[in-house]
Chains A and B, each alone.
Chain A
Amino acid sequence: MFIGITLATHAHTEAQIRARRDYGKYILPVIASLLVLALVFWLAKNIQIDGTAYFINIAFIGLTNGALYALIALGYTLVYGILELINFAHGDVFMLGGMFSATMILSVFHLKAGASTGSLIGAILGSLVVAMAACGLLNATIERIAYRPLRGAPRLAPLITAIGMSFILEDIAIAWKGPGYTAVPSVLPHGELFSISGVTYTWEKFIVVLITLPVLLLLVWLVQKTRQGKAMRATAQDRDAAAMMGIDVNRTISFTFLIAGGLAGTGGLVYALYFGQIRYDTGFQLGLIAFTAAVLGGIGNLPGAVLGALLIGFIQAFNEGLTWHSPGSDWTESIVFSILILILVFRPQGLLGERTPEGA
């Protein structure tokens, strides 16, 4: 639209400009495909050096990380889809979810390494319910206190309170668990699920997927099939119109925050079980990575968040695991943030591209 205005005053002819613009149209895809080609070459070279089995093992790590990131990224994307707000405190809600789970495992169920399968399943399910409920309520409360009063304010105002809330949550964690790491005993079985010619898939990695997948399916069902999900989609599409159709917008938004918090709580449990330690600043780092995943997939788009999370998980695992010319874990953050910046600058709609959770 604004290009049209400048056209009239400019000395260039319209044809010239169109020619130049058409030219520019190819630059980005060419660069992108060159990058992808380089990436594929780098992966192939690594497979050649380390062997296929090692590569697949690394990929399994990536899959596990990706599943965890997906849980958190979905929280960002749900909230963004409905409120166009980057819920900066989401990562810290996830961290508190890990803390809740750690407390449940340590102090309520007294779970130790090598516990029986029955007590393990019971404890995990119990912790899951508690973490989901606590984080969901926490997230909905944060929305009520810090975001709802600012609905009509300039759009950066709720982002600033979100940052503030994030810091407050981190301090709550410090007051609760201290500034050091809270260790969770490795209760998950480390045995192999299968091992075929050097490719091993361990139980603990499988359990992460086992917890994540039903939650994701439940979310899809909820957004896609239920009345509440329909209200969410309607609110995301047009808040005013939804209100006119009799949808309680505030309640729907609260519900979305509740769901997002529940996902973060699940993520917290998975993190505490899988990595075995959690600290007050865990949520900040992981939250940013998960946010990148959401942006990569197309923020507001639920399958996009999962896709982005898996991609980021693989990128991280390959970067840290592969040996041939990989930057290593020192640079993981830089790589993830570079991806974030590149995506935002060149393709802000992400890989899958929608802005509302309709495509779920």
Chain B
Amino acid sequence: MRRRVIAGVGEGWWALLGTFGLTRARWRELPRIARRAVKAVLWLVVGLLLIAFLGVWEWSALAIAAVVLVLVVPDYGRITVRGRRVGRFIVPAAVLVLAATYPFYASSQGDVSPSMPQLPIFGPVPQMSTMVGMAVFSIMALGLNFVVGYAGLLDLGYVAFYAMGSYTAGWFASSQFSKQNVYFGAIGVTPGLTGFHFSIWLVLLMAGIATAVIGILIGLPTLRLRGDYLAIVTLGFGEILPQIARNGDNLFGTGFNLTNGTGGITPIDPPGFGSWLHHHVGLPANFLTLGTNSDRAFFWCALILVLLTIFASSRLRDSRLGRAWIAIREDEVAAAAMGVPLMRTKTWAYATGAFFGGVAGAYYASYVSGAFPDSFFFQISVFILCMVILGGMGNIWGVIFGACFLTYLNLEGLSNIGGWLNNHFGPGGSDFELWHKTLDVPEYAYGIYGLILVIVMLFRPEGLIPSSRRAAEFHEGVHDQPLYDAAA
């Protein structure tokens, strides 16, 4: 049915263009770069017109359009230097530069810069705090991508790793354990404060490793289960760990306060580089003393973590281990027959994914200065899963796009959209009154993510920016009968 709909829309479109003399055959004869240029220019013109007439126009919109044009149109992938395809790094590098300089052109004094244009409905460009969230969730989504995208295991309890990372930061960088008094390079802690106070950079690593160990512990007994059972078991762990966090202020009636219960562990020490690096290299000594600029420091550090994650993702994907993951995803029985150790390979995927979830959780905990049990709902797991699926399972850039877009929606976009809708169609709306009670759009956030899941799975299961291999699997089908069934 839906294929026929899509085909019908395509036919109609070409029939319309044909009346203007542009038939499909003629279009195909044009050189590739020209076709790309025409498409990009058309889209950009539509976008600019929308901004000009429905949004808030600034001349910087033209500059943005020019940058997009330069990035999208030429086929950089073909550029080679002495036989090496260095061209494929051009677009990611440019995007990285654009992201890293974002605080300079898009924000002023911690707020959104007034010289940036505003899209209709979506409103202004993201604030710095949202950018930090985007970076952190990119790390998490890339971590989940190891499990879901590469190894093809559905993990519905990824939030457990996020929680584990946050609480590791809580344990080793705050005053939670008042009987201890251990300092190791912590920044901005009043001397004499009790508890473990490790340097936050060390804590990130510790959180990653601790979470990976938890991942292995969860994975060892459960990873031999078939896909849907595994999903449910991970969901179970994702519910148990937060409950331990909620009830952990008096574990087993012993009075041992592990997690401080519903109050959560707060404050967590801020990151920073200490006074020596501050005086000699100029790095900030303590992020929190930067005032309105602290978000920038958090953002740049998160960006470096994202880079490390991307590096690990792409290197691992092409490694022996990564190829084993993909082999298992495509055909478990064949992979086993070829000598791929199923359990070990899956456990590594799980541990790697958990590692990055833990790092991201710890970093976010230090950003919001606390680890709270309320932030570890099942919904977050599905939220992160939605990023991976929307962007494109198994494709690093797709996953990052999904993470950025959905985090933006979650933190800013939905409330902007809600405000726009209410202004135009809400009570006393400027266009006409469609509903008479203010619509709280962010309240429906998870239904919107659910809708995204359903629509993507039905119409474009490979995601918006697919990896070609994954797309082929969805369209040609796979032998994903689990070994568990095949052997039985």
Q: State whether B480 touches A155 (Cβ < 8 A).
A: yes
Q: State whether B447 touches A167 (Cβ < 8 A).
A: yes
A residues within 8 A CB of B389? 160
Q: State whether B449 touches A341 (Cβ < 8 A).
A: no
A residues within 8 A CB of B274? none
Would you give the shortest CB distance from A210 to chain B, in whole angstroms? 32
Complex interface bits, A150-182 against B, C-beta within 8 A gives 1, otherwise 0: 101111111111011111101110110001000
A residues within 8 A CB of B444? 171, 174-175
A and B contact pairs by CB, cutoff 8 A, 17 listed: A1-B487, A86-B228, A86-B232, A154-B152, A154-B473, A156-B154, A157-B474, A160-B457, A161-B453, A164-B449, A164-B453, A167-B451, A331-B243, A333-B240, A337-B237, A341-B222, A344-B232
Residue of A with least CB distance to B329? A154
Most chain A CB inside 10 Å of its own CB: which residue of B227, B235, B483: B235
Taking a contact as CB atoms closer than 8 A, the residue among B156, B244, B461 that contacts A153 in the complex is B461
Q: State whether B243 touches A164 (Cβ < 8 A).
A: no
Q: How large is the interface on A (under 10, 10 to 19, 20 to 34, 35 or more residues)?
A: 35 or more
Tell me if A189 counts as interface (CB < 8 A to partner B): no
Q: State whether B454 touches A170 (Cβ < 8 A).
A: no
Tell me if B446 counts as interface (CB < 8 A to partner A): yes
Would you give the shortest CB distance from B94 to chain A, in whole angstroms? 33
List 4 A-B pairs, minimum CB-CB distance, nearest first: A171-B447, A167-B450, A164-B453, A337-B236
A337 to B446, CA, bound (A): 23
Q: State whether B243 touches A291 (Cβ < 8 A).
A: no
A167 to B377, CA, bound (A): 13
Taking a contact as CB atoms closer than 8 A, the residue among A164, A165, A338, A344 that contacts B229 in the complex is A344
A2 to B478, CA, bound (A): 21
A129 to B480, CA, bound (A): 41
A residues within 8 A CB of B227? 155-156, 159
Q: State whether A168 touches B454 (Cβ < 8 A).
A: yes
A284 to B378, CA, bound (A): 10
Would you give the shortest CB distance from A163 to chain B, in whole angstroms? 6
Would you give the shortest CB distance from B349 to chain A, in whole angstroms? 15
Q: State whether A341 touches B236 (Cβ < 8 A).
A: yes
Q: State whether A160 touches B240 (Cβ < 8 A).
A: no
A174 to B443, CA, bound (A): 8
Tell me if B417 counts as interface (CB < 8 A to partner A): no
Q: State whether A338 touches B240 (Cβ < 8 A).
A: yes
A288 to B156, CA, bound (A): 13
A-B interface pairs (CB < 8 A), number:
137
Identify 17 new A-B residue pairs, CB closer than 8 A, beyond the known A157-B457, A171-B444.
A84-B228, A146-B454, A156-B227, A157-B461, A158-B457, A159-B228, A160-B453, A161-B454, A164-B451, A164-B454, A165-B454, A288-B235, A334-B243, A340-B233, A340-B236, A345-B222, A345-B233
Residue of A with least CB distance to B218? A341
Taking a contact as CB atoms closer than 8 A, the residue among A145, A154, A288 that contacts B478 in the complex is A154
Q: State whether A344 touches B473 (Cβ < 8 A).
A: no
Provide the main secondary structure of the chain A interface: helix
Q: State whether A164 touches B457 (Cβ < 8 A).
A: yes
Known: A146-B458, A150-B457, A155-B228. Is A164-B239 also a contact (CB below 8 A)? Answer: no
Tell me if A22 counts as interface (CB < 8 A to partner B): no
Chain B interface (Cβ within 8 Å of chain A)? 1-2, 152, 154, 156, 221-222, 225, 227-229, 231-233, 235-237, 239-240, 243-244, 246-247, 336, 378-379, 382, 385, 389, 443-444, 446-454, 457-458, 461, 473-474, 477-478, 480, 483, 487
B residues within 8 A CB of A86? 228, 231-232
Most chain B CB inside 10 Å of its own CB: which residue of A149, A163, A166, A172: A163
Tell me if A348 counts as interface (CB < 8 A to partner B): yes
A residues within 8 A CB of B450? 163-168, 170-171
B residues within 8 A CB of A152? 477
A175 to B444, CA, bound (A): 8
B residues within 8 A CB of A170? 446-447, 450
B residues within 8 A CB of A85? 228
A residues within 8 A CB of B246? 330
Residue of B with least CB distance to A80? B228
B residues within 8 A CB of A155? 227-228, 480
A residues within 8 A CB of B461? 153, 157
Residue of A with least CB distance to B148? A156
A160 to B384, CA, bound (A): 13
Q: State whether B221 touches A2 (Cβ < 8 A).
A: no
Taking a contact as CB atoms closer than 8 A, the residue among A1, A2, A157, A348 that contacts B225 in the complex is A348
A284 to B443, CA, bound (A): 17
B residues within 8 A CB of A165? 450, 454
Q: State whether B447 touches A168 (Cβ < 8 A).
A: yes
A168 to B450, CA, bound (A): 6
A291 to B480, CA, bound (A): 24
Q: State whether A153 touches B447 (Cβ < 8 A).
A: no
Taking a contact as CB atoms closer than 8 A, the residue among B240, B458, B478, B487 that contacts A334 in the complex is B240
Residue of A with least CB distance to B475? A153
Residue of B with least CB distance to A142? B454
Complex interface bits, A122-162 against B, C-beta within 8 A gives 1, otherwise 0: 00000000000000000000000110011011111111110
Would you give the shortest CB distance from A309 to chain B, in whole angstroms? 17
A171 to B444, CA, bound (A): 6
Q: State whether A153 touches B454 (Cβ < 8 A).
A: no
Residue of B with least CB distance to A335? B240
A324 to B410, CA, bound (A): 45
Q: State whether A156 touches B382 (Cβ < 8 A).
A: no
B residues within 8 A CB of A337? 236-237, 239-240
Q: State whether B228 touches A149 (Cβ < 8 A).
A: no
Taking a contact as CB atoms closer than 8 A, the residue among A2, A145, A149, A295 that contacts B487 in the complex is A2
A residues within 8 A CB of B379? 167
Residue of A with least CB distance to B449? A167
Q: State whether B222 touches A159 (Cβ < 8 A).
A: no
Q: State whether B446 touches A167 (Cβ < 8 A).
A: yes
A345 to B225, CA, bound (A): 7
Residues in A49-107 with C-beta less than 8 Å from chain B: 84-86
A345 to B218, CA, bound (A): 11
